[in-house]
Chain A
Amino acid sequence: MPAPVRTLDTSGRLCPFPIVETAKAVRVLDEGAVLLVISTDAGIATDMPMWCKATRNEHLGTFRDGASWKSFVRKRAR
């Protein structure tokens, strides 16, 4: 995975807040930059790819890491 420029830890926050926070973080990211989102809400595994598709950002992958999930998102050029 490419190195993220920022890591957003949403541990303990539940649906839909991991996505709400991701949206806020991506908004201020430079185009092409990668964000790593850590979440403990299992729903992230389906939500993140869907959110990326809806907002035309690139979903690089979501992986389980113990009790949490790691999602890599690349901000698309508009």
Chain B
Amino acid sequence: MRKQGKAIAMISGGLDSTLALALVRRQGIEVKAVNFYTGFCITETQRRKGGRADGSVPRNEALRAAADLEVDIEYVDISGAEYLDMLVHPKYGYGANANPCVDCRVFMMRKAKEIMEAEGADFVFTGEVLGQRPKSQRRDTLRIIERDSGLDGRLLRPLSAKLLPPTLPELEGIVDRELLEAVSGRSRHRQMELAKELGVVDWPQPAGGCCYLTDESFAKKFFDVLDSREAAGEERRIVPEDVVLLSTGRHFRLSPRAKLVVGRSEVENALLEHHVPGRARLEAKDVLGPIALVEGEPTWEERMLAARIVARYGKGKDASRVAVEWREGELVETYEVEPERDEARVEALRI
């Protein structure tokens, strides 16, 4: 007789984590799923902006996976200062963009360990696949994640378990190793077969790509914030408000001390309105145009430049002069400017 066990599943809702969930569930193990909210999820942000470009509202895939397998799910909000600090100072460095995946996984697994202990569960498992991602899923990295999270021996990767040393729940007879898998690498062939075998019929297409930190243009804006704070003599850091603004609007670096953000849609304009305090708000006066914010301490020339760029993105773009209102706390001024027509100059400022 096997011991009745309980496990904590870290799920994203992708195919791999759904399969891992199904593999553990079919062994009769009680599972509680957790999904971590980092604040950098592209799907969530799209939903905040009222859906995708085609008008559809993306599903919450982690919820969908838990619902399909009838597993209790809890959201854990990790988007606070501690997580942001990790993003700025990752011990194991970044992947291709602003994604410190190894540190991020360690961070999540530490939280999962706390939940495991609070729930009286025996182990934590994930949908990680050996060798699937160049850095964060190498054999040595999987080991680092297990060690640094403090989950030593209690972190199971059901999809690759047979290629990894046995974990404590396997040795203790809570999990039957024979019923786990030996998947590795980037090919999804075995996953497709398994989906059939386990009756998993629904998963998001295309796979992955939910995290802004892995996005190239987001990464540019992310490092721009850190670098310009440093250049202005401040500490390299990211605050929660930066996170919202980084995924909103067109960004222009005017100087290390000044940045311009221009809304690209009604929804973005409305979002920017929530972040006016502490910033200057720009809008063309007599013609329709975007809402824009200027952060920092712009010089006079930079103010004019910002106003010209704002004029350029409105209905007055072909006019010879556009009145742009500059509102900063109590101060309201109007600048009559010519819309900026130098394409190359605008592009050079674009972050």
Chain A interface residues (CB < 8 Å from chain B):
14-16, 19-20, 23, 41-43, 45-47, 49-51, 53-56
- With A and B bound together, what is the CA distance between A43 and B41 in angstroms? 15
- With A and B bound together, what is the CA distance between A19 and B37 in angstroms? 12
Instruction: Name the distance in Å between A65's Cβ and chain B's nearest Cβ.
Output: 17
Is B265 interfacial (CB-CB < 8 Å)?
no
Q: Which of chain A's residues have a CB closer than 8 A to the CB of B92? A: none
| A-B contact list, 19 entries, CB within 8 Å | A14-B47, A15-B44, A15-B60, A16-B35, A16-B37, A16-B60, A16-B63, A16-B75, A19-B60, A19-B63, A20-B77, A41-B48, A42-B57, A46-B59, A50-B59, A50-B64, A51-B67, A54-B70, A54-B72
Q: A54 touches which one: B58, B59, B71 (CB < 8 A)?
A: B71
- With A and B bound together, what is the CA distance between A53 and B33 in angstroms? 13
Residue pair A43, B60 in contact (C-beta under 8 Å): yes
Chain B interface residues (CB < 8 Å from chain A):
33, 35, 37, 44, 47-48, 50-51, 57-60, 63-64, 66-67, 70-75, 77
- With A and B bound together, what is the CA distance between A14 and B50 in angstroms? 10
Instruction: Name the distance in Å between B43's Cβ and chain A's nearest Cβ.
Output: 8
Q: Please provide the 3 A-B residue pairs with the shortest distance between their CB atoms, ordered closest to farther.
A: A54-B66, A50-B67, A53-B67
Q: B60 touches which one: A23, A46, A53, A56 (CB < 8 A)?
A: A46
Q: Which of chain A's residues have a CB closer than 8 A to the CB of B44? A: 14-16
| CB-nearest residue of chain B to A48 | B63
Residue pair A53, B57 in contact (C-beta under 8 Å): no
- With A and B bound together, what is the CA distance between A51 and B48 in angstroms? 19
Residue pair A55, B51 in contact (C-beta under 8 Å): no
- With A and B bound together, what is the CA distance between A49 and B63 in angstroms? 10
- With A and B bound together, what is the CA distance between A19 and B64 in angstroms? 13
| CB-nearest residue of chain B to A42 | B57
- With A and B bound together, what is the CA distance between A66 and B97 in angstroms? 41
Q: Which of chain A's residues have a CB closer than 8 A to the CB of B50? A: 42
Instruction: Name the distance in Å between A45's Cβ and chain B's nearest Cβ.
Output: 8
Given A20-B77, A55-B73, residue A50 in contact with residue B66 (CB < 8 A) = yes
- With A and B bound together, what is the CA distance between A12 and B248 in angstroms? 18
Residue pair A15, B66 in contact (C-beta under 8 Å): no
